[in-house]
Structure 1
């Protein structure tokens, strides 16, 4: 991981909150371990909501609401 810079804290945000922008370098070994943990049910992704691709504006509204608990997903296929 390579740190780029510390982000400015928006007005009204508590001083205990910090934001950092960084770039990750993928590791095949680490991704393999994460895959094993997911397959064993020891870790899982938390999904807040799923939207069809043509509903991207609703997805971004949800993301911008600050009320999400988990990932907001855009579905690229028509499966439910």
Structure 2
């Protein structure tokens, strides 16, 4: 999720975070990266979630992805949570 500092919305007004305006309607960008099928399955839920704004779908090519080293303590906790459900 990225919060913009200025945007030009559908209302034809500039929205900015300049000190004097203190806008409450600054642009926000939410990026979701997942498989084609999972994104398509999620699209109907956006009808309820997005009440104003623009939704786009774009292909993405991952060039490099480096994750963190596994945390054994987190793995044990996740296993415990699955068993207790």
TM bucket by the smaller chain? under 0.3
User: TM-score under structure 1 normalisation?
Assistant: 0.27
| Rg (Cα) greater in structure | 2
User: TM-score under structure 2 normalisation?
Assistant: 0.26
